[in-house]
Structures are given as C-alpha cells and as structure tokens.
Structure 1
C-alpha cells in the first residue's frame, strides 16, 4: 500500500469514529530550557528553528535530534526575535525582531543579510524559496515586498490599519495579507494588483496560502475561519467549531491541501478537512514544567508520514500519531 493510501485509510478511520478526544504526545524533545519566543518547523519536518531567552536562535535537525546551528542578530545583547520562518523549500530561515530581520542559509549556517526597518514595527514576515523575496507587514498598515537580488521594493497600501499576518507563495509572486481593517487581500507582488478581497466581521489575525496553489485560509479573532479557492476567490468551507471565540497561532495546509493543521494560544492542535471544514482530530500540547498557569502557544505544526510534529512556547518538539 502506498503512503498516500495509508494516510487516506487513517483519515477514513478518523471520520468514521468522529474523534473528539485529546491524546498525549508520543515523544517530546526539549528545544528551549525555559520556553520559546518563536518557532517554526519545516514542511517536511526535518528542521525546527527556535528563538529563546537562553539559546538565542537555534536550528535543530529533527531527524538526528541534534542542534545544528546557533545564531544571533548583530549587536543584540538580548535576544528579541519574536518571528522565525522557514522558506517553503527549507533552504533558508528568516528571523525578525520588531525593527530588523535576518536571513540564514540552512546548508551553511551563514547569515546572508541583516536588514533594519525604521518606519514602523514588523508584525509578520515571510520568505520565498531560495530566499530571493521577503514580505513583511507593518504596524502602520503597509505590506512591503523586496526582491533581495535586485533591491526592488514594492509597498502594498491596500490596508487601512495595522497588519497582523502575511504569507507569500514559494515563488514570491503572490501575497496574502490580513489586518485590523477586517480585511484580507490576495495580491500580485509584481504589480500590487488585488486579485481577491476577503471581508471578515472582525480583525483578521491569521492568513495562509496552500503551497500547491489551490486554497487560501483567512481567520479573524472572533468566530470566522474560512478556506477559499485561490483561483476564483469563492468559499470552499468554514471551520466548524463550537467555541464562541477561536484564535489561531499557527496554520498549515498538509497532504496537497486536503487537510489543515491549526494551533492555538490555548495549547490546542487540530486537524481539519479542508473541503468540509470538519474537525477530524485534536490534541493539546504540553505546558512548560512548573509553569503557572499551565499554558502554551502552538507556534508551528506539520504532518509527515502519518505523524504530526509541533513546536510550542513550552520549548518542546512533540510528536503525535493519527488515530487508526
């Protein structure tokens, strides 16, 4: 049986049993002793990048369970990096504080550039495959797209208020941005032309592009989390949850966009069916030892060979197995 067939059979079992329980992780690896400010996992689960108080910025090889590199921003006595993102191909990492960002080569461990921002605070950031393009959203409502090879800079001025979330296609040609103006925009980074506009009843706090070019995800800070068709801009589904309010701290499409993994500031990690918006399975990540209250923010998650990997503010890499 192929891996795809195995995965589909597992998902079928989940649908049949309508899983609603929470499971403990099957393994834990400590990546930050007293918790993390930020973290990301590469799509293939091979690497994790973590920003923490004691270790600065750390890159871990999850296959070898080994620390690969430790980085720090230039001239920074104290680590203030609150954003860390892999490129789609995991060749590079971008890390950002409120007023600067740095780009790192995963193969060599070398920094390929440090960049200072003076006009406003960085709210979110994304990097393209091979680190040619970077996109960041600012507190003043601007989204800035830069070609790092040529220096070309494009400012997207569609938002009227603070930007909360950004994402960019692997080739750097398309961007999705969401802000406090209750709106998310899907736009062409070569022309700044708006391709789709998505309205929400409250502030848009999370956006995500599906890497195969099929779907978009937008969510606000209240009750609405939607999956859209990337080409037509038409709705595909709305995530079906009972809570009066649901906030997402991480989102990733997996298995060619058929499923969605979400994480929340309340330790919740969940797998959803993209077409129906139905929750298939959920877990709760572990809090940091001796923490009060027992809390953790899910920073990143991915699905590889039937196993979910997560990184959280507890500084733990956890592994979860899908129900069968």
Structure 2
C-alpha cells in the first residue's frame, strides 16, 4: 500500500539495528531494479512482483524462471503499487492509483481493465476465479465488484476516513477492511452489513483474513496488533513485542493454523504463535547491493514446504527455515 513508503525511514531508525541480518536457506533475485509490490501464491508455485523498471512479472518458483511479464496500461513508467493473487492462484489483480486489471496466471492474458473516477486506489483484493474484486479508496469507500454480473456494492462504514488495507474471502462473500477511523470491519459483500467491528487505539494499517475462515489479523500504526476469531468476533491473542511500535507491511496465516507470518518496512520477517501471540522466530532480510538506502520493505510473506518465504523491495525472494518444522 502507499503508506508503506511513508513509514520506511521511521521504521528503519526504530528497528533497523535490532536484529542481525539472517542467512536464508535460499535466495533468488527477482528484479535487479527492486520492486514496489509483491505477492506469493498460496500454493507456493509463483511470486508476482511490480518492478521498479515498470513491468509486472510472474515468477515460477519451482522452475526458477519468469513465467509472464505484463505492462499495466501498456505504460512502463506507470507505478503499480498493488499486486495480489486470487486465493486459488488462478489470477492476479494489479493496480495503480487510478486503475486496476485482472490477469490469468495460466495463459498470461488480461481479463479486464477498469478505471476509478473517484479518489485514489489504496489496496485491492481478489476472490477465487476472479469472481469478485475488492477496491479500497482514499475517500473512505470500499467497492466490491463482480466482473461477470457487473453487480457493484459500496461499503461506507469507514465514513470519509482513508481505507489503508483490505482482504477478501476466497468465496468473495466476506471483506475485511481497515482504515484511519481506528476500526477494522468484517462485512458481507452481499448485503454490505457489518458482521464484526474490531476497534484499535490508532489508525488500522494492516489486515489479513485466514482463507480457511478461522482467523482475522488487524494491526494499527503503533503497538496494537490482534488476532481475532472470525466466527465469534472475540480476540484470540495480541502480538507480544517490546518495541514502541511495529508497522506491518505483509501478513499470512499458515495452513495448519499454528502461525502468523508478518513483514515490516525495516527488513524484518516475524513468525508468531497464533494462540498466544508470542514471537516464535524472526529474521532480517538483506537490502539491495550498492549505494541505495540500506533497508528493505517486506512486501510479501508466505509458507512453502515448511519454510517461511519473503519478497522484499530489494527484489529478493528468500526462504527461511522454521525451527522444529
């Protein structure tokens, strides 16, 4: 999301020296120029990155080679700051500040291209089969759109407060959105009605749904990061950290329901116990080589074959061994 760049320097000063640089079990460079956004497919087969050079690239992790290269709007100078896989790994949604597009991971073909006239796009999410698209805007509205039926619904629960982070359930029926009004909402994309409201003492900057409908993660821009029971709406655990603040730029739940994996703008990748909120492990990703600022935003995190995986602004895809796994 756009706010990630705003917090990069502050977070680096607060946290950058606290953890020694770690050695991954494997590292693959996906872009020499660095990346603005990234995601890892749920099946662990692919990564998608928005490169600083202007291209969107789908990388085949198993074959260790690029699969597709796309140009958003056909303009290499356009800043694509959001890329997301659908939960079934069949599609990718990409967006800049005014437009969003859907791409097929199987064929590489674009499925559609849409322009937003009101406000700017903050975040996007996609359901299975690209049947539903969720778009967050800076004016506080969240749009749910079905490309096949053209049904559209606007969620106005955040008022006029900017929406920073969103996620969508695999079936497209439920949305999780967090904004500057200090709230994250779980709501129905069929009715627009709020199912659960999760309150924070500061603006909510990161949200994530467990795609097996067990948990939700919401975090503000200071020191309140919680894991919630999606069915009851009650707090399951609060992440335990001693720092004055941690800002999260990525989050992912493990399929076995044991761990939450998060990334930060200050090189850090952290593994948490879902039930207790305790930190299990943490790693410090490597920055880019050369004279550029020596930091790295962790844009994507996930799990592949029992290891934690990250993609950072340095352009590196890295694998990290989890103790006991």
1:263 aligned onto 2:254: no
TM-score normalised per structure 2: 0.91
C-alpha distance 55-26 of structure 1, shift in aligned 2 (>3 A): farther
1:127 aligned onto 2:123: no
CA distance in 2, matches of 1:87, 1:101: 14
- Tell me if the contact between 1:134 and 1:145 (Cα under 8 Å) persists in the aligned partners: yes
Q: CA RMSD in A?
A: 1.3
The match for 1:42 is 41
The match for 1:64 is 63
Q: Deviations over 1:232-271 (max 9, x none)?
A: 1000000000110010000001133321000000010011
Q: What does 1:1-324 correspond to in 2, within 5 Å?
A: 23-54=22-53, 56-160=55-159, 161-324=161-324
Q: Secondary structure at the match of 1:130?
A: helix
Moved runs in structure 1, 4+ residues, more than 6 A? none
Q: Deviations over 1:204-259 (max 9, x none)?
A: 00011111111111000001000011011000000000110010000001133321
C-alpha distance 320-291 of structure 1, shift in aligned 2 (>3 A): farther
- Tell me if the contact between 1:212 and 1:256 (Cα under 8 Å) persists in the aligned partners: no
Q: Deviations over 1:183-223 (max 9, x none)?
A: 11100000001000111100000011111111111000001
Deviates more, 1:74-83 or 1:118-127: 74-83
Note the C-alpha offset of 1:55: 5.4
- Tell me if the contact between 2:260 and 2:274 (Cα under 8 Å) persists in the aligned partners: yes
Note the C-alpha offset of 1:307: 1.3
CA distance in 1, matches of 2:169, 2:190: 12
Note the C-alpha offset of 1:21: 7.5
**How many residues matched?**
305
CA distance in 2, matches of 1:292, 1:55: 18
TM-score normalised per structure 1: 0.92
- Tell me if the contact between 1:229 and 1:236 (Cα under 8 Å) persists in the aligned partners: yes
The match for 2:5 is none
Note the C-alpha offset of 1:26: 1.8
CA distance in 2, matches of 1:22, 1:212: 33
- Tell me if the contact between 2:123 and 2:166 (Cα under 8 Å) persists in the aligned partners: yes
**Any unmatched runs of 5+ in structure 1?**
1-19
- Tell me if the contact between 2:250 and 2:300 (Cα under 8 Å) persists in the aligned partners: yes
Note the C-alpha offset of 1:54: 2.2
Note the C-alpha offset of 1:22: 6.2
Note the C-alpha offset of 1:291: 4.1
Q: Secondary structure at the match of 1:74?
A: helix
Q: Secondary structure at the match of 1:108?
A: coil
Q: Secondary structure at the match of 2:72?
A: coil
CA distance in 2, matches of 1:35, 1:165: 22
C-alpha distance 305-58 of structure 1, shift in aligned 2 (>3 A): same
Q: Secondary structure at the match of 2:73?
A: coil
Deviates more, 1:251-260 or 1:85-94: 251-260
**Any unmatched runs of 5+ in structure 2?**
1-18
CA distance in 2, matches of 1:114, 1:156: 22
CA distance in 1, matches of 2:260, 2:124: 21
